[in-house]
Amino acid sequence: MRGRAGRQENSGHRRGIFLDSLYGTYQDLGINSLEFGSTGIRSVTMWGRIDWIWLFFFLLFWCYVVWTWATWLKSREKVNPRWKVIVVVAGLCCATASTALDAFLYIHAVVKGGYPFYHPVELFCIRFGGLTAILAIISAMAGTGRLRLHVAIISITNFLLWFMDAMFQ
């Protein structure tokens, strides 16, 4: 390839003139290049794709779900009627299932590099994650006890995340 000064460059990888003029080299963008004969396979490193603010948010959110389970299992709260407590615990199970689908989808997307539009794995997670979040919201409204507020926070946050994911499709 000819460089900007018109001399021959030998940098060990293929460079596109259009890409160089707009963005710089592949190394500047964090793209590794593996050469197989005349075909080059390029991939962005996994750590280059992680948005650290979202990672921090999801880790805090997942820790909040675990903390909610731990505090509920330690508590000896007696609420009458008993069926309302069972409804809230079922809501916590639904909210946890929605959070688990969210965690799976986030980790899978980071490792695989994202999804194309209407990918079956992502659509499955959006459908069932949204459904379990709605069931958890309904159970938080129907139940009683201190756990009710935590189930509402977790399920509404999950539902908003699923809605946002569906809108970005």
pLDDT in tens, the chain (169 residues): 444 444 444 444 444 454 445 455 555 555 454 444 444 344 444 555 667 888 899 999 999 999 999 999 998 878 778 898 899 999 999 999 999 999 999 888 888 888 888 889 999 999 999 999 999 999 999 998 889 999 999 999 999 999 999 998 7
CA 88 to chain centre: 25
Pairing of strands 39-44, 31-36: antiparallel
130 φ/ψ angles, rounded to the nearest 5 degrees: -65, -40
Q: What is the pLDDT of residue 37?
A: 42
pTM: 0.69
